[in-house]
Amino acid sequence: MANQSQKEEKRKYHKQLIPQLMLNEKYLIQKLGVEWEQIQNEARREVVVRKAKEAGVVAAKSILALAAICGFLTVAVVAPNIFAAFGRMGAGKRRGFYEKGSFQKSIAYLKRHGHIAVQKNESSGQYNITLTRAGRGFVLQEAFQKMKLPTERPWDGKWRLVAFDIPDKKKVMRNAFSKKLKHIGCCQLQKSLFAFPHPCNEEITFISHIYGVSAYIKYIETSLLDSDSELRKEFGLRL
């Protein structure tokens, strides 16, 4: 009976994950936008174009992510065999560059899977791309699965502890939440206690909400943690 209940909860979890992500998509879209801006700041246009010419780009997921960030893309030829996708998020412009062959294959793939709607202006040769509901769900699920906590900032000497007491009736969600904490970079101290050296309340709040376990989570900041030398080594912090 218990196993059957857990199987039912697991089915319910998988069925509700994408709708739950779509209800809370603003956070993930903002993170995608920040990541995209960092990429643009690190590489000038000519460098990106050269790399696209040399090796092509893993274009399909990139197109989906950019469309999710901007809501609408205009794609045009900007150099021989190079397409550029342009979109806006607020006052800022976002763009991506794609080798012609990989771009056309990616567009065909995404259309075939129902992830995008495409209109082509025959006179200008430009494409207008929008995400379908299925495409948006796919992007959000990918972004959620790839979430990581930031580690580049200097350590302020405080530990962030995530403690939880999730009841057995939510065992599937408890296991999923615990697995997610490990995946995003937290270190497990005890069965229901994890640690991270940098502020992460926003991320933990978001994840616990997605899994429906917010009521059972405690987020604690402390500079007092006995025998933390091994933990510091784990995160590469000064001893």
Contact between residue 128 and residue 140 where contact means Cβ atoms under 8 Å apart: no
Query: Which residue is listed with tokens 């979890």?
Result: 13
Mean pLDDT of the chain: 83
Cβ of 164: how many Cβ atoms within 10 Å? 21
Indicate if 104 and 85 belong to the same structural domain: yes
Indicate if 141 and 116 belong to the same structural domain: yes
Task: With residue 10 as reference, give the H or E element that holds it.
Answer: helix 2-23
Nearest to 232 by CA among 193, 195, 184: 195
Predicted pLDDT at 45: 52
Of 145, 178, 199, which marks where a domain is finished?
Answer: 145
Predicted pLDDT at 3: 67
Domains: count for the chain: 2
Long-range contacts of 66-69 (CB under 8 A, 24+ apart): 66/36, 66/94, 66/95, 66/96, 67/116, 67/129, 67/130, 67/131, 67/135, 67/139, 68/29, 68/32, 68/131, 68/135, 68/136, 68/139, 68/140, 69/29, 69/32, 69/33, 69/36, 69/94
Model confidence at 92, in pLDDT bands (50, 70, 90)?
Answer: low
Model confidence at 56, in pLDDT bands (50, 70, 90)?
Answer: very low
Residue 135 or 69, more confident? 135
Indicate if 119 and 154 belong to the same structural domain: no
In which domain, by residue range, is 228 found? 149-235
* Mean pLDDT value across residues 159-176: 94
Q: Which of 74-78, 114-118, 202-206, 219-223 has the lowest mean pLDDT?
A: 74-78
Of 145, 171, 199, which marks where a domain is finished?
Answer: 145
Q: Is the pLDDT of residue 16 over 60?
A: yes
Contact between residue 86 and residue 144 where contact means Cβ atoms under 8 Å apart: no
Residue 145 or 91, more confident? 145
User: Model's pTM, two decimal places?
Assistant: 0.78
Indicate if 64 and 116 belong to the same structural domain: yes
How far apart CA 23 and CA 238 sit, in angstroms, is: 40
Tell me the pLDDT tens digit for each residue of 186-232: 999 999 999 999 999 999 999 999 999 999 999 999 998 888 899 99
Residue 235 or 92, more confident? 235
Of 145, 172, 188, which marks where a domain is finished?
Answer: 145
How far apart CA 235 and CA 232 sit, in angstroms, is: 5
